[in-house]
Structure 1
């Protein structure tokens, strides 16, 4: 597992998921926002970390049993492999009636230093999950356990979460707009472009506050960009 450079982590905490989707759109990547991964618990602060992936498939009665929770291939075993600082990304196929994790598993992830949990599925034990300290993005809450509708099959393989391909060590950024994936090969470039985009848009917002009209300002034309560079010392 490749740890994220602390300087890059700090940069990404300043870049919104909305900005990241725009940057990636300009590079031809349209499908990077994880559908169903809505902010549920402690989502006020932006969370950033490399993806640690888990995968469920549809339940099969001989495999999806309470006994499977003690299997070497179990969510419990996967949690013990999670390094500090990762964002756990779980492919739950969008299943709405089987909670993939509850309070105890979330508490253990938080204890291990997991940055956040992101899934297109649902959780259970909401009160305990809220108390666990683990930030969560998911598609809701359901009382039944995971084996009611899903079979866990492994971790640290490519997955599809919310209709988006996620590979281990891709970067995940999650905020109040949801969660996005930045391909590993683009992490540094998107950081540079995203930080500059945030600076530019902050300047544009100040111009809007001063009564500036939008045409030529947003998106900025060459005259506006020249003025921005002069006023911010980037020219």
Structure 2
């Protein structure tokens, strides 16, 4: 087992800010345009849907448990689950390959609390968590497939950390950018994160503008998608905005 801690790419502050504002739906659309069709983690829902998440994948891989390995007494110096918890860095997301297995938890509240205390951006598992009430009180977001009271070693054997995994049917590489919202989690390859952040943000600015026209009674014909004439009108409007149009609007409102 070789531990890899270096991130292939660190987000610029502007890209991170944009990823905190755009939806996972928009991000998946941008990834489809780049030929990536399987990036949304299946069957995983947020315990705190009001929380947004942007961070870097730090992976933990479980294999099926076997009775002669491990046990309910965990060794903090050798157990890979515990080593992963203590290896988390600021803005990492602990993402767990639990094989979709929900007959026992893949993480508990105390370990998740330690993960968050180390500055993690969140926790994602395609398995279950235990002490779920405590998870809902954590400051950071958690995305899970289920809840289960039984301890992890009954079903899971922690096999490796910070290696490529599958989570909810999606490949996750260490350092991939993970974005979560009220719908779930999308995986963005690190080398695409900057361009995806920029294009997704601009897509939502355009769609917000279109929505404003529709709410005022406009037909979607020639508007969604925009015709050349409507695109020109939008571009004139966009050129008058700052880099973050909604912030400009908030500033104007505050000044009134």
Q: TM-score range by the shorter chain?
A: over 0.9
Alpha-carbon separation, structure 1, partners of 2:210 and 2:53: 25
- Asked whether the 8 Å contact 1:121–1:139 carries over to 2, the reply is yes
Aligned partner of 1:194 in structure 2 is: 200
Q: Which runs of 5+ in 2 are unaligned?
A: 1-5, 241-256
Given the alignment of the two structures, is residue 24 of structure 1 paired with residue 24 of structure 2, yes or no?
A: no
Alpha-carbon separation, structure 2, partners of 1:193 and 1:111: 33
Quick check: which has more Rg, 1 or 2? 2
Alpha-carbon separation, structure 2, partners of 1:180 and 1:92: 17
Instruction: Identify which of 96, 104, 109 aligns with 1:98.
Output: 104
- Asked whether the 8 Å contact 2:116–2:140 carries over to 1, the reply is yes
Alpha-carbon separation, structure 2, partners of 1:88 and 1:146: 16
Alpha-carbon separation, structure 2, partners of 1:81 and 1:219: 46
Given the alignment of the two structures, is residue 58 of structure 1 paired with residue 82 of structure 2, yes or no?
A: no
Q: Name segments (4+ residues, structure 1) moved above 4 Å.
A: none
Deviation per residue, 1:112-136 (Å, 9 max, x gap): 1111001111100112222333310
Instruction: Identify which of 110, 120, 130 aligns with 2:126.
Output: 120
Alpha-carbon separation, structure 2, partners of 1:198 and 1:52: 29
TM-score by length of 2: 0.86
Aligned partner of 1:12 in structure 2 is: 19
Q: Secondary structure at the match of 2:105?
A: coil
Q: CA deviation at 1:23?
A: 0.5
Q: CA deviation at 1:21?
A: 0.3
Alpha-carbon separation, structure 1, partners of 2:190 and 2:90: 18
- 1:11-160 maps to which residues of 2 (within 5 A)? 11-40=18-47, 42-70=48-76, 72-160=78-166
Q: Secondary structure at the match of 2:17?
A: helix
Instruction: Identify which of 164, 173, 179 aligns with 2:179.
Output: 173
Q: Which runs of 5+ in 1 are unaligned?
A: none
Alpha-carbon separation, structure 1, partners of 2:89 and 2:105: 23
Q: CA deviation at 1:223?
A: 2.3
